[in-house]
Amino acid sequence: MPLVVDIHTHVYPPSYLAMLRTRKTVPYIHDPSTQASPRLIILSSDDDPAIPLDQRGRPIDASYSDISTKLSFMKQHGINSSVISLANPWLDFLVPKEAQEWAQRINDDLEFTCAQANHTADPTGTRPLSEKQTLFAFGALPLSAPDPATIVTEIQRLSTLPHMRGVIMGTSGLGTGLDDPRLDPIWAGLQDSPLLLFLHPHYGLPDDAFGADTTNRYGHVLPLALGFPLETTIAVTRMLLAGVFDRFPRLRVLLAHSGGALPFLAGRIESCIRHERKFVANGGQLPGPRRSVWDVLSSNVYLDAVVYGSAGLKAAVAAGGGSDRLLFGRFWEMILLGVEIYILMLIVQFCTGTDHPFFPPLGEEEQEWPSVTTNYKAIHESFDDDRDAMDAVLGGNAVRILDLK
Ligand code: 5CU
């Protein structure tokens, strides 16, 4: 049996849920006066005054916060190790003076949860990873803190916690996006630490990108299926355009949902950059990025496999291949070699994830989570003819990239 590591799996620690219960604006939790489940209202599109409070957002149960429920879910789906992270919208909404204290509280809570679970699973710490259930964590950053030094201090503190393997971050940065030069000390802090940056969406696209009244007609489909991945794609492209990967060439970024549309659109992004007259390389005034999208994709970017279909997975792995071959027929062999090297690089950077506890089964009796089994199926369809690649994607890559022991 291959070792299975879930690197995309969330939790809201009880203290965080208690804080959401004190709030009346997004994000908040509403407890109905009846026996009905509490409602989690985290997306701005969920907070529609036309919808009664008892029906707003989504119902939440123990799977969102209880670690024994997470461990049972792992057992049920054959997952050996999970890297848990606070779910969106993290600490983005906190007033500046509360950010640092909350980050420490949540991160200490995650660290303690991992330590306790791992000790219970293996009190002597001698059993191999494949024979027990273990937890690791991505910490949260106090991004609304009054000054970036506070964020850097928390990065340095996280580096000293034994179960922390990275930080999870949304796309708003310090409020204006990830191309903000004020983020440089944070990129530097991460680059100089062993921590991986897990870039995850929350804000989607503006509601009018989807047309009027579509949340009422189609629920969460457009914001989650398209808004989330496009948000990630835009955020990481802005980092690239602002030269973040030129200035911080050792920054390692795990992109949620297989990088959104980035692998698929990489060639187009690269082409638009090369043709942009505003950039110095073409006689303009703006610096523009020095490193190519391909270079960044193959050396700075890691992808989860949370895309629910082999077409998406294969597109992520083979991005750019087909069209390059057609366009540059004369250099067919050279391009083919380049594409194959790139495919190999992407396979070594793929890790599997479940997005638990989001997308639960809809039927009460359903035991297995279709969102998880659909993902496994896509991984099998994509990598079945290459056992080593499959083992790497299911767990080996995560063990190596995150130094899981
Ligand atoms: O269903 C959703 O809204 C979500 C979410 O908010 N965050 C996430 O990671 N997955 C799904």
Q: What is the 342 CA–ligand 1 centroid distance (Å)?
A: 30
- How does pLDDT run across 10-22, given as a tens digit for each residue? 999 999 999 999 9
For residue 325, the model assigns a pLDDT of: 17
Q: Please report which confidence band the pLDDT of residue 2 belongs to, taking 50, 70 and 90 as the band edges.
A: confident
DSSP 289: -
Q: Which residues contact 39 (CB under 8 A, 6 or more apart)?
A: 29, 30, 32, 53, 54, 55, 56, 57, 58, 59, 60
- How does pLDDT run across 169-196, given as a tens digit for each residue? 999 999 999 999 999 999 999 999 999 9
CA distance 347 to 298: 10
As a whole number, mean pLDDT of residues 199-209 equals 95
For residue 183, the model assigns a pLDDT of: 98
DSSP 286: B
Comparing 329 with 69, the larger pLDDT belongs to: 69
Model confidence at 47: pLDDT above 50: yes
Q: Please report which confidence band the pLDDT of residue 343 belongs to, taking 50, 70 and 90 as the band edges.
A: low
For residue 45, the model assigns a pLDDT of: 85
As a whole number, mean pLDDT of residues 334-343 equals 50
Q: Which residues contact 170 (CB under 8 A, 6 or more apart)?
A: 88, 89, 90, 92, 143, 199, 200, 201, 202, 203
398 and 353 in contact (C-beta within 8 Å)?
A: no
Q: Atom 2 (ligand 1): residue with closest C-alpha?
A: 358
Q: What is the 358 CA–ligand 1 centroid distance (Å)?
A: 6
Q: What is the 154 CA–ligand 1 centroid distance (Å)?
A: 25
Q: Which residues contact 107 (CB under 8 A, 6 or more apart)?
A: 137, 139, 140, 154, 157, 158, 161, 164
Diameter over CA atoms, the chain: 70
As a whole number, mean pLDDT of residues 380-391 equals 85
Fill in the amino acid letter for 11: V
Strands of the sheet with 253-255, listed across from one edge = 5-11, 81-86, 134-140, 164-169, 196-199, 253-255, 301-304, 350-351
* Residue 85: strand, helix, or coil: strand
As a whole number, mean pLDDT of residues 348-357 equals 87
Comparing 145 with 364, the larger pLDDT belongs to: 145
Comparing 405 with 276, the larger pLDDT belongs to: 276
Does 355 contact ligand 1 (Cβ within 6 A)? Answer: yes
ipTM value: 0.93
186 and 103 in contact (C-beta within 8 Å)?
A: no
Q: Which residues contact 97 (CB under 8 A, 6 or more apart)?
A: 146
Full set of structural domains in the chain with CATH: 5-11+64-402 (3.20.20.140)
State the closest ligand 1 atom to the C-alpha of 223, by its place in the atom list counted from 1.
3
- How does pLDDT run across 310-330, given as a tens digit for each residue? 888 887 776 533 222 111 223
State the closest ligand 1 atom to the C-alpha of 359, by its place in the atom list counted from 1.
1
Q: Pocket of ligand 1, candidates 220, 224, 254, 308: which has the most ligand atoms within 8 Å of its Cβ, to mutate?
A: 224
Model confidence at 49: pLDDT above 60: yes
278 and 285 in contact (C-beta within 8 Å)?
A: yes
Model confidence at 60: pLDDT above 50: yes
Q: Atom 7 (ligand 1): residue with closest C-alpha?
A: 88
Q: Atom 4 (ligand 1): residue with closest C-alpha?
A: 358
Q: What is the 327 CA–ligand 1 centroid distance (Å)?
A: 38
Q: Atom 3 (ligand 1): residue with closest C-alpha?
A: 224
For residue 330, the model assigns a pLDDT of: 35
Q: Atom 10 (ligand 1): residue with closest C-alpha?
A: 358
For residue 400, the model assigns a pLDDT of: 92
For residue 365, the model assigns a pLDDT of: 72
Cβ–Cβ contacts within 10 Å for residue 110, how many? 26
Q: Please report which confidence band the pLDDT of residue 340 belongs to, taking 50, 70 and 90 as the band edges.
A: low
For residue 350, the model assigns a pLDDT of: 80
Does 12 contact ligand 1 (Cβ within 6 A)? Answer: no
Instruction: Please give the full DSSP string across 1-20, using - where no structure is assigned.
Output: ----EEEEEEE--HHHHHHH
For residue 317, the model assigns a pLDDT of: 74
Model confidence at 332: pLDDT above 70: no
Model confidence at 266: pLDDT above 70: yes
For residue 331, the model assigns a pLDDT of: 36
State the closest ligand 1 atom to the C-alpha of 10, by its place in the atom list counted from 1.
9
Percent of the chain with pLDDT over 90: 73
Q: Alpha-carbon Rg of the chain, whole angstroms?
A: 21
As a whole number, mean pLDDT of residues 134-153 equals 98
**Count of H-run helices and E-run strands, the chain:** 17, 11
Which backbone phi and psi does 165 adopt, to 5 degrees? Answer: -120, 0
State the closest ligand 1 atom to the C-alpha of 256, by its place in the atom list counted from 1.
9
CA distance 192 to 132: 31
As a whole number, mean pLDDT of residues 145-153 equals 97
Least Cα distance to 370 among 361, 379, 381, 378 occurs for 361
As a whole number, mean pLDDT of residues 150-162 equals 98
Does 87 contact ligand 1 (Cβ within 6 A)? Answer: yes
Q: What is the 151 CA–ligand 1 centroid distance (Å)?
A: 25
Extract the tokens encoding 26.
């997004």
For residue 225, the model assigns a pLDDT of: 97
Does 88 contact ligand 1 (Cβ within 6 A)? Answer: yes
